[in-house]
C-alpha cells in the first residue's frame, strides 16, 4: 500500500524528520541485533555499545548513510553491495580507531577473524554490511519511509525532538561515563596501543 503524497510529505521539514527517524530506527535495530547476538552466544543480557540507551549510533549512521547515498543506485544491486561494504567498513574501522585511541577500550575485536584489519573490521563484518546495505535499500528503507510518511508532521517533529534530546543527554553522559564492562568492552594492552 502506498502513502498518499501531500504537500506535507514533500516539505523539507518532513524529509529531515524522516531522516532523523531512520537514524534512530537503524540505531535501535542495531542495538537489538547486538543484544540478541550476545544473548544467543552467552545466554546473558548485556546492553551493548558505548552509550547507555537502546541505540547504537554506528548502525544509525550506517543506515542513514545507505538511505541518503545508495538509493540512487537501486537499479544496480552490485553497486549497492560494494558501496555498503566500503562505506560501512570505513565507518566501523574509523569508529573502532577513535574509541581505542580516545577511550582506550575495544567495543569489538575481530582479531581472530579471517582477513581482519587491526581487529577493527574483517571480511565477515564487511560482507554483512554489504548484505545489510541490500536489505536497507530494497526492503527496510521503503518500509520506513512509507511508515514515517503516514505520521502527521507536528507529532513527528515532537517525536524527533524528544529522541534527539534523550540521545544528546545519553551522549554527553556517556562521554564521561561510557557503557563498559564484561561482554561490552576489553581493555587495550600496551602492546596494542
Asked whether residue 192 is domain-assigned, the answer is no
pLDDT of 7 > 80? The answer is no
Instruction: Say which range, 4-8, 16-20, 37-41, has the weakest mean pLDDT.
Output: 4-8
Asked whether residue 2 is domain-assigned, the answer is no
Q: Which helix (H) or strand (E) holds 187?
A: strand 186-187
pLDDT of 4 > 90? The answer is no
Asked whether residue 4 is domain-assigned, the answer is no
Question: Do residues 107 and 40 lie in contact, with contact meaning Cβ atoms separated by under 8 Å?
Answer: no
Asked whether residue 127 is domain-assigned, the answer is yes
Task: Please give the mean pLDDT across all residues of the chain.
Answer: 92
Cell of 174: 556517556
- Structural domains in the chain (count): 1
Q: Cα–Cα distance between 22 and 119 in angstroms, integer?
A: 29
Cell of 44: 546473558
Asked whether residue 90 is domain-assigned, the answer is yes
pLDDT of residue 173: 97
pLDDT of 1 > 50? The answer is no
Classify 106 as helix, strand or coil. strand
Asked whether residue 36 is domain-assigned, the answer is yes
Q: Cα–Cα distance between 73 and 110 in angstroms, integer?
A: 30
Residue 166's pLDDT band (cuts 50, 70, 90): very high
Cell of 173: 553522559
Percent of the chain at pLDDT exceeding 90: 85
Asked whether residue 95 is domain-assigned, the answer is yes
In order of 162, 182, 189, the CA distances from 42 in angstroms are 34, 11, 24
pLDDT of 66 > 90? The answer is yes
Residue 190's pLDDT band (cuts 50, 70, 90): very low
Q: Cα–Cα distance between 87 and 130 in angstroms, integer?
A: 9
pLDDT of residue 191: 41
pLDDT of residue 15: 95
For residue 45, the enclosing domain spans 10-184
Question: Do residues 57 and 63 lie in contact, with contact meaning Cβ atoms separated by under 8 Å?
Answer: no
Amino acid at each position: 500500500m502506498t502513502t498518499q503524497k501531500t504537500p506535507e510529505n514533500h516539505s523539507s521539514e518532513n524529509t529531515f524528520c524522516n531522516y532523523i527517524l531512520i537514524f534512530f530506527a537503524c540505531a535501535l535495530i542495531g542495538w537489538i541485533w547486538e543484544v540478541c547476538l550476545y544473548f544467543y552466544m552467552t545466554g546473558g543480557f548485556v546492553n551493548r555499545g558505548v552509550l547507555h540507551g537502546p541505540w547504537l549510533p554506528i548502525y544509525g549512521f550506517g543506515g542513514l548513510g545507505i538511505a541518503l547515498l545508495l538509493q540512487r543506485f537501486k537499479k544496480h544491486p552490485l553497486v549497492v553491495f560494494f558501496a555498503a561494504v566500503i562505506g560501512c567498513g570505513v565507518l566501523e574501522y574509523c569508529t573502532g580507531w577513535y574509541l581505542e585511541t580516545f577511550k582506550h577500550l575495544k567495543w569489538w575485536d575481530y582479531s581472530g577473524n579471517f582477513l581482519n584489519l587491526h581487529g577493527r573490521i574483517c571480511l565477515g563484518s564487511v560482507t554483512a554490511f554489504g548484505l545489510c546495505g541490500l536489505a536497507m535499500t530494497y526492503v527496510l528503507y521503503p518500509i520506513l519511509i512509507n511508515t514515517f510518511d503516514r505520521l502527521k508532521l507536528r507529532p513527528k517533529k515532537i517525536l524527533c525532538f524528544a529522541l534527539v534530546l534523550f540521545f544528546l543527554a545519553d551522549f554527553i553522559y556517556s562521554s564521561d561515563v561510557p557503557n563498559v564492562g564484561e561482554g561490552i568492552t576489553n581493555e587495550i594492552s600496551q602492546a596494542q596501543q
